[in-house]
Chain A
Amino acid sequence: MTAFMALLRRDLLVASRNAFPLLMATLTQPILVVLVFGNILPRLGLVADQFRTVMVPGLMSITMLMAGVQGVLMPLVTDLSGSREVDERLLAPLSVMAVAAEKIVAGAIHAALAGLLALPAMMLLMHQVAGVAVHPNWLALTPCVVLCGLLSASFGMTLGARVQPRFSGLLFAVILGPMMLFGCAYYPYAALNVLGPFQYVFLLNPLVFMSEAMRVAVTPNVPHMPIVLLLAGLVGCVAAFGWMGARTFQKRTIV
């Protein structure tokens, strides 16, 4: 446990030193999207008022996913491909699984903070715009942010431990891009019933659960997925990706 906490402390220290670039990397996209879709387009009358409310939790979940990916996946890819800084961690007195778990926890903290910062940033940009119904429920927000942070970090680890560095650029185009478009970020899951059974295909995308969780937490008035399904999805994804990520990490690092 000492070694685990020491590694976490190191990661948080380094992250705090790089706070500005990290913030820029994770907050630029939601801020720009809000500026265009939440401020400019509504003024031009090109986007329905409702969209702004629907978009806020979706952008929080996208921000968290990207933060988890940037916090875990990218460093892992460079580490495994050559710099081997990870070896010092593997030689610390804790199990390889614990090293993986620490990376996931550090990534989850990063993702949770990014999500929590994205909310006021978006609110600030849209405060002049009428019809935004964002009412954070803090009691629900805390567990949702924790679970979504863990989910994005463990998803980042699963991908990071598998992907070859030369394909890391492709990840955004082939995996993350489609995930964001089909992740119920820009439309609520409940509204997809117009698609019939095809609605259930969306459940294969872990981002759907994150977006819906944020929806429950910050825009309770928008229809959302049943809570039981939501919790099962979140917990199931965290467990599955956490386990897969840690296993793959172990296989990649200990040859």
Chain B
Amino acid sequence: MSAVLEVGQLVKTYPGSRKAPAVEAVRGISFQVEAGELFGLLGPNGAGKSTTLGCITTLVRPTSGRILVDGVDVGRDPVAAKRRIAVVPQVRNLDRDLTVREVLTFHGRYFGLPAAERESRADRLLEQMQLTDRANAKPLELSGGLQQRLLIARALMHDPKVLLLDEPTIGLDPQARRLLWETLLDLHRQGLTQILTTHYMEEADRLCQRVAIIDHGLILTIDTPEALKSSLPGGHVLDLDARSESPLAPLLQGLPGVARVEAIPNGVDDGYERLRLFVVPGDGLLDRVLHAVRDARGDLRHISLQAPSLEDVYVHLTGKELRE
């Protein structure tokens, strides 16, 4: 496998003005994406994901650092780099004066595709994205989900090496989101290299082969979702809702098999507290927890043992919930 995208020591500081201080959006990010990989940049809003994507797509000028797309230096030869990438932006910037089909054929023209290829490719992509019967509609007449699929079709018109998607499912209803996930997984099976930014943990977990968790302009960790989750202390998560006369957390913290206890605000003041325990399951762990609660004369309302999610990884790395 070879790297299709290499980002080295990328820094972007937006200059300040009299009214606003300078913003260090990206503070030294490096990563590589292999050919055919579906790679995720996961982090809260304002973490630097979109800026990183902007630098890769030539729309943001990096303060320093180097980006190679398929061996082409984005800073030195942006036009050649643009031929190799395609972007599905966060703002749906479809050409509202053209029809759905023309959006595709004109995009093909911009990239110099010969007429026959342009037409056949547009037909194929309309079919693939289930847009054929809307070919003569205007983009703004389409639903959000269909517009998103048209953006992907447009991006694929010039056969890019790398597809970059900025928060592709934001604002979509659950059904449209799932459909879009299927589309991206299909493209992945066809061997297309994809990089997506998201702040949805589930999305990164389901789609991405590797995930970079990014916060405050820095990458905290990069690995497969499985490896990230198994890196958590204990490897499993035990959530419980309990009420007791004395605080439970210190009691549970001392139990064998409990690596760490986090109190999670549940938003309701009903006397019950929600605790998340990072645990090694088995070996009488549940018995010990139940006993501990009973010994504290507590009442246990809910208990669940589950495999950890990326959200747990994020909480563990940053000590905070993902900011929405």
**Does B bind A?**
yes
> A83 contacts which of B14, B91, B109 (Cβ < 8 Å)?
B91
The answer on a CB contact under 8 Å between A85 and B96 is yes
Interface residue stretch chosen among B79-87, B207-215, B262-270, B309-317:
B79-87
> A84 contacts which of B79, B85, B89 (Cβ < 8 Å)?
B89
The answer on a CB contact under 8 Å between A6 and B58 is no
Expressed in whole angstroms, the Cα–Cα distance for A95 and B78 within the complex equals 8
- A: contact size bracket: 20 to 34
**Residues of the B chain whose Cβ atoms lie less than 8 Å from the Cβ of A139:** none
The answer on a CB contact under 8 Å between B106 and A82 is no
Expressed in whole angstroms, the Cα–Cα distance for A83 and B91 within the complex equals 7
Mask: chain B, 49-85; 1 = CB below 8 Å from A; 0 = not: 0000010011111000000000000000011101101
The answer on a CB contact under 8 Å between A93 and B83 is yes
> B93 contacts which of A7, A84, A93 (Cβ < 8 Å)?
A84
Q: In the assembled complex, how far is the CB of residue A182 from the closest CB belonging to chain B, in whole angstroms?
A: 33
For B60, the closest partner residue in chain A by CB is: A255
Expressed in whole angstroms, the Cα–Cα distance for A145 and B47 within the complex equals 51
Q: What is the number of residues of chain B that contact chain A, defined by CB distance less than 8 Å?
A: 30
Mask: chain A, 54-94; 1 = CB below 8 Å from B; 0 = not: 00000000000000000000000000001111111111111
Expressed in whole angstroms, the Cα–Cα distance for A82 and B96 within the complex equals 14
B21 at the A/B interface (Cβ < 8 Å)? no
Known: A82-B91, A91-B87. A254 touches B107 (CB 8 A): no
**Residues of the B chain whose Cβ atoms lie less than 8 Å from the Cβ of A253:** 59
Q: In the assembled complex, how far is the CB of residue A76 from the closest CB belonging to chain B, in whole angstroms?
A: 14
**Residues of the A chain whose Cβ atoms lie less than 8 Å from the Cβ of B107:** 88
Chain A residues 1-60 with CB under 8 Å of chain B are: 2-3, 6-7, 9-10, 14, 17-18
For A253, the closest partner residue in chain B by CB is: B59
Q: In the assembled complex, how far is the CB of residue B296 from the closest CB belonging to chain A, in whole angstroms?
A: 56
The dominant DSSP class at the A interface is: helix
**Residues of the A chain whose Cβ atoms lie less than 8 Å from the Cβ of B94:** 85
The answer on a CB contact under 8 Å between A10 and B98 is yes
The answer on a CB contact under 8 Å between B110 and A7 is yes
Partner-B contacts on A (CB < 8 A): 2-3, 6-7, 9-10, 14, 17-18, 82-95, 253-255
13 A-B contacts (beta carbon < 8 Å): A7-B110, A10-B98, A14-B97, A18-B97, A83-B91, A83-B93, A85-B94, A87-B59, A91-B59, A93-B82, A93-B112, A254-B58, A254-B59
- Interchain residue pairs A-B with the least CB separation, the first 7: A6-B109, A92-B110, A2-B112, A14-B97, A84-B93, A84-B91, A6-B110
19 additional A-B pairs beyond A82-B91, A94-B79, beta carbons within 8 Å, are A2-B109, A6-B106, A6-B109, A6-B112, A9-B109, A14-B97, A14-B98, A17-B97, A83-B93, A83-B96, A86-B93, A87-B89, A91-B58, A92-B111, A93-B110, A93-B111, A95-B79, A254-B60, A255-B14
